Structures are given as structure tokens and as C-alpha cells.
Amino acid sequence: MPAEVAIRVQNLSKCYQIYDRPQDRLKQSLWRGRKRFYREFWALRDVSFEVGKGETVGIIGRNGSGKSTLLQLIVGTLNPTEGGVKTDGRVAALLELGSGFNPDFTGRENVYMNGAILGLSREDIDTRFEAIAAFADIGDFIDQPVKTYSSGMMVRLAFSVSINVDPNILIVDEALAVGDMGFQIKCMEQLDRLTKSGITMLFVSHDIGTIKAFCSRVIYLVDGRMKAFGSASDMVELYLLDMRDAQKKALSSASQIKIKTPLGGEKAFAFGTDQGHVLNAVFPDTNNTQSVFSTGDIVDVKVEVEYGSTVKNPAVSLVLHDHRMIDLSGRYFRLPPRTSDAGITRRTVLFSFPADLNNGHFFLTVRLEDRLSDDSFFPIDKQVGALSFSVIRPASQHFIGLVHLPIQAEEP
């Protein structure tokens, strides 16, 4: 395996035999394969990808899409039906709650058992044990049988073991959602430190914000197949697009959501319906989709849209993202609906805001939408990352963080 590749998955598939009746399993063994008494269920089918060393890759998809199966195949707790997996380095995994723990052993005994499975000597575990116990923070329960633990205590200990055995590859499967809020924050801080230290991580989560914050690339699984593998922002948009299935069914066939041609460049992605379109979105001073500003400059954005009479509550919104495509701010502007059922309405909206931002690169998403309220809208044309701009902070300006807020300070 080349030195730069930490995980290589090639044509990986996992098939289960489903028997409708218990006696069919016996019949299958008696017929020795000459007749089939089962149905095949492919939990994973023909998945291939590579993860580089030091890379953090997310895995998203709806329940039943094959995410956990994929992780178990990579870890080795499941055997593939077809294909193979190669990993370079020590792999630590936090999969199903309590997996790898013997319920009759104490927490201490399970720490030593899991460490041995990962290839550590007893002396290695001795030197790490205090750090493991301190991070888990379960007190005297460390010497009680694991079967007496709450779900939160179990995930505390499991996570603490996983991060304290110096893994080269860390695999996490949504288990952190079980812990309390304080422990989740502590885990996220630790994961952030690990990613910055160069560890390779595979991360499954339904929290889209976490996926976008941690992951450089994302694998999107649908019905056991890899639908796409790309940047976190693009894969999240694809995922959100597919999650609107219920809304699709409520629309006529002519108005179903589909992928559209993006207006922007680097991180641009677009989807929506045929009910309307974002015709153009530019910085009017340059008539371009890219620009550069100094901190405090006014950013103007001109958006041109068109929509038909089926859009009952038309609005245009502008959303500001950082370089990871995490939302920072935004607003929407309502447009007048058509008074007749014929023809197309065209409108131009001018947005303006001060670039009270620190040094960095930023993106703007433009949406034409059918909006009922602040929290309820349907995207007619969503242009993700349609515009981008850089901000240069003058040396004379001083503030902490990404956004410059008018914070005042004085002695009373």
C-alpha cells in the first residue's frame, strides 16, 4: 500500500441470507446449495474508495443505507462477501454501544482486554490507564461489571479507550450521541485535537453541522451503494436533496427537485424545481462571482430571479458561509406573488452587508424559495456557493475570532 493511503476499500460488498421460516435454514443445509430457500439482502454493494493519511472522512446516509456495515467491514468485525479492505496502522473503533466489552468484566478489565486486542502490552496499558480513567470520569464504577453501567457510562469508557491507545486510524459510529452534553463537548474537542495531530478518521453522524466542521470529504451511501464521494459541502447538499422525498411526492411530476447547473465555481452546487430559477448572482462592482474586500467594506450582491404562478410565497435569501461551508449569517427578502396564472415574473434583489470579518475566504449561497415562515420554506432554486470572496483585515484593526462585533469595553 502506498505510504500516503491509510484505508483502501476495493469493490466491497456484504450479502445476508434472509430466511422467511426457521425450517428453511435447515432445508438449505440439507440441500447443500442445490436449491435456494433464502432471499439475498445486499447491505453493501461494490463500494470502493481511498482515505489518505491524516484525512478526516465522513459517511452519511439514511438509516439502513449501509454506514455501520461499512465501518464493521473496515474494522474487521464482519467478513465481506466480495471485495477487500486494507488499512495501514493501528485501528481503534467506537462502533455499536458497548461493542467489544464483556458485560461480566469490570471496566478496568475491559480496558486491559481492549488494549491487548489492539496490540498493546500490559505495561503500555498501565502507562495509559490513568488517562483513560480520568477522561471517562465514571469514578468507582471503573471497578464494577460493565453490565451495571448506564449507556452514557459505557460510551464514556469506550471512547476514552479508543482515543488513548495512540491509534493511527480512528473510526467513530454515532455513539457519541448517547453521552450527556458536557461529555459530547469534551469528545468533540478531543476529536478536533486528534485531527490536527494527523490521525486518520472515519466519522459517521447524522449531525450535518459536525460532518461539515470535521470532514474534508464525505462518502454518501444510498441503499448500500456509494452514490457519491466528494467535498463535505457537496455531499451534504446531495443528502439534503434526497431527504426531501416527502416534499417531492407532494409536488406534481413537473415540479420535482433535480440537480441544476451551478452559477458559481469552486464549491458551487445547485438543485431545485422547474418552478423558477436564479438567473444571475454577482457582485455588481465587478459584475463577477468572485471579489476581494477589506474588513468593514460594504459587500453588495445583485440577484436576478424568475418564477411562475405556482410559487405562492416567493422569496430570495442570501446565506454567508465560512471556508468549511458552515453557515455564519443570512437573511431573506419576500417578493410579490403573481396575481395571474399566466406568464413568468422576473425580479432583481440587491443585498448589502458590511464585511466585518477576519482574514479568510467566504462563500455566499443564493436561494429562490417558496417561504411560509422563518423556519418553513421550499427551495425552488438553491445555488450553493454561488459567490465567493476573500477578506483582508487591515493591520490597524484588531479583534478576536471570525466576525467583528461592536463589543465595547471600559472600566466602570
Q: What is the pLDDT of residue 50?
A: 92
Give pLDDT tens digits for 135-161.
888 888 999 998 898 877 888 888 888
Q: What is the pLDDT of residue 383?
A: 92
Average pLDDT for consecutive 10-residue bins of the chain (412 residues)? 78 87 75 73 92 91 88 89 91 69 88 83 90 88 89 82 84 67 73 83 82 86 91 83 62 64 77 91 93 95 93 94 86 82 86 95 94 85 92 88 87 87
| CATH 2.70.50.60 residue spans of the chain | 254-392
Q: What is the pLDDT of residue 47?
A: 94
C-alpha cell at 259: 440537480
CATH class as words, domain 5-235:
alpha beta
Q: Is the dihedral of CA 108, 113, 114, 120 positive or negative?
A: positive
Q: What is the pLDDT of residue 339?
A: 57
Q: What is the pLDDT of residue 329?
A: 93
Contact 109, 188 (CB under 8 A): no
Q: What is the pLDDT of residue 2?
A: 47
Give pLDDT tens digits for 318-347.
999 988 778 899 999 999 876 556 678 999
* The length of the chain, given as a count of residues: 412
Q: Give every CB contact of residue 45 below 8 A, 6+ residues apart in sequence.
A: 13, 224, 225
Q: What is the pLDDT of residue 101?
A: 81
Three-class SS of the chain: CCCCEEEEEEEEEEEEEECCCHHHHHHHHHHCCCCCCCEEEEEEEEEEEEEECCCEEEEECCCCCCHHHHHHHHHCCCCCCEEEEEECCCEEEECCCCCCCCCCCEHHHHHHHHHHHCCCCHHHHHHHHHHHHHHHCCHHHHHCEHHHCCHHHHHHHHHHHHHCCCCCEEEEECHHHHCCHHHHHHHHHHHHHHHHCCCEEEEECCCHHHHHHHCCEEEEEECCEEEEEEEHHHHHHHHHHHCCHHHHHHCCHHHCCEECCCCCCCCCEEEECCCEEEEEEEECCCCECEEEEECCCEEEEEEEEEECCCCCCEEEEEEEECCCCCEEEEEEEECCCCCCCCCCEEEEEEEEEECCECCEEEEEEEEEEEECCCCCEEEEEEEEEEEEEEEECCCCCCCCCCECCCCCCCCC
Distance between CA 74 and CA 50 in Å, rounded?
Answer: 12
| Residues paired with residue 195 on neighbouring β-strands, in sequence order | none
Q: What is the pLDDT of residue 175?
A: 60
CB-based burial, 19-49: b 16+ in 10 Å, e otherwise: eeeeeeeeebeeeeeeeebeeeebbbbebeb
CATH class as words, domain 254-392:
mainly beta
Contact 66, 224 (CB under 8 A): yes
C-alpha cell at 393: 483585515
What's the whole-number average pLDDT of the chain? 85
Q: What is the pLDDT of residue 355?
A: 95
| CATH 3.40.50.300 residue spans of the chain | 5-235
Prediction pTM value? 0.66
Q: What is the pLDDT of residue 219?
A: 94
Q: What is the pLDDT of residue 395?
A: 85
Residue 169 to residues 21, 71, 245, Cα–Cα distance (Å): 41, 12, 35
Contact 50, 195 (CB under 8 A): no
- Cell numbers 454577482 label which residue? 282
Q: What is the pLDDT of residue 3?
A: 53
C-alpha cell at 97: 454501544
